[in-house]
């Protein structure tokens, strides 16, 4: 099939590479300009560079809603558009243009976690699985019929970075498998159960701020979700910003005021966290590694030289 690809960053790069390695013919690539947004500089392999290295024409757009692009797409005469990590709305006159419509590849197990940063949100929320879904695009975001979907298990110590590497390897089999089904003439796919749908917004630095009223189990997942190279989870100690790079749920149960610097346990320093209403347990978060405001990275036991005092949500 003749394919036009809409894509950006490493997800789009992997999709384009899979298409180039397949029997399908990539006739045009549309991608975004580089961004300085904290999350959009991560996993920033260039789709444009890969296309140009393979003599595929490239169009760069923030939004695909102008007449010039529409004419370029008509001239390309695609059988299908494949989109992955396209960051803005694609209008119906474009996603309906190809003979087989538009296939969107999304890094979640739809209908759950439509929208942005699904791996991070899924890890924070304690989901047992994450994955990749290829679905037909319609006029509702990430809501079209599912063509192919694959899942991987979230391990007990997995970070968002680990989940990225697990799921990015699913792009090629999910995308090419879906295209092969469409090319074979299949037109009936799996309807999404919209009663199970959820939608999440883009992550921002504010979303990494630690709220010590959360249960320790939730805070531990937040720290794993904000693993390098993502912006780290942070709090404030003596009025200065402190990034929490690694932490575990304490073995002991510690009650008291959330944020209290309370006890040394193993290689960590226990901070009192909120009670978990689901389990009735009140563990602390044992911080093991931190980064200070001046960029020093060190064990928490070296930073917290004495117990007492508080970690706070504000300076």
CATH class of 2-200: alpha beta
* Least confidently predicted of 11-15, 42-46, 293-297: 42-46
pLDDT, average across residues 29-38: 83
| Domain residue extents for the chain | 2-200, 208-312
The pLDDT of residue 276:
75
CA 86 and chain centroid, separation: 13
pLDDT in tens, 163-181: 999 999 999 999 999 999 9
The pLDDT of residue 275:
81
Instruction: Report, in this order, helix, strand and coil percent for the chain, each rounded to 5.
Output: 25, 30, 45
pLDDT, average across residues 44-66: 95
Given a cut of 70, whether residue 156 has pLDDT beyond it is yes
CA-to-CA distance for 22 and 176, rounded, in angstroms? Answer: 7
pLDDT in tens, 232-271: 999 999 999 999 999 999 999 998 999 999 999 999 999 9
The pLDDT of residue 39:
63
The pLDDT of residue 176:
98
The mean of the pLDDT values for the chain is 95
Q: How many C-beta neighbours within 10 Å does residue 60 have?
A: 12
Q: Which CATH superfamily is domain 208-312 in?
A: Formyl transferase, C-terminal domain (3.10.25.10)
């Amino acid at each position: 099939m003749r394919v036009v690809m809409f894509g950006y960053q490493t997800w789009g790069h992997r999709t384009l590479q899979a298409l180039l390695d397949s029997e399908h013919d990539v006739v045009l690539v549309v991608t975004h300009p580089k961004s300085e947004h904290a999350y959009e500089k991560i996993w920033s392999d260039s789709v444009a560079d890969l296309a140009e290295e393979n003599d595929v024409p490239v169009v760069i757009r923030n939004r695909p809603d102008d007449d010039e692009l529409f004419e370029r797409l008509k001239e390309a005469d695609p059988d299908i558009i494949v989109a992955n990590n396209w960051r803005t709305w694609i209008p119906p006159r474009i996603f309906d243009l190809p003979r087989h419509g538009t296939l969107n590849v999304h890094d979640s197990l739809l209908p759950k976690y439509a929208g942005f940063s699904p791996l991070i949100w899924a890890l924070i929320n304690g989901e047992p699985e994450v994955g990749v879904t290829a679905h037909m695009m319609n006029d509702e975001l990430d809501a079209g019929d599912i063509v192919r979907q694959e899942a991987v298990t979230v391990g007990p110590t997995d970070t968002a970075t680990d989940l990225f590497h697990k799921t990015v390897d699913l792009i090629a089999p999910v995308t090419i498998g879906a295209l092969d089904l469409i090319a074979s003439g299949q037109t009936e796919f799996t309807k999404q159960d919209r009663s199970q749908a959820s939608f999440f917004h883009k992550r921002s630095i504010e979303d990494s701020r630690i709220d010590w009223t959360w249960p320790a189990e939730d805070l531990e997942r937040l720290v794993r979700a904000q693993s390098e190279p993502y912006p780290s989870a942070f709090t404030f100690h003596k009025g200065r910003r402190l990034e929490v790079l690694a932490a575990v749920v304490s073995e002991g149960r510690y009650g008291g005021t959330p944020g209290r610097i309370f006890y040394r346990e193993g290689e960590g320093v226990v901070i009192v966290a909120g009670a978990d209403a689901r389990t009735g347990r009140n563990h602390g978060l044992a911080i093991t590694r931190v980064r200070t405001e001046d960029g020093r990275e060190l064990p928490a036991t070296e930073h917290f030289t004495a117990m007492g005092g508080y970690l706070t949500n504000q300076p």
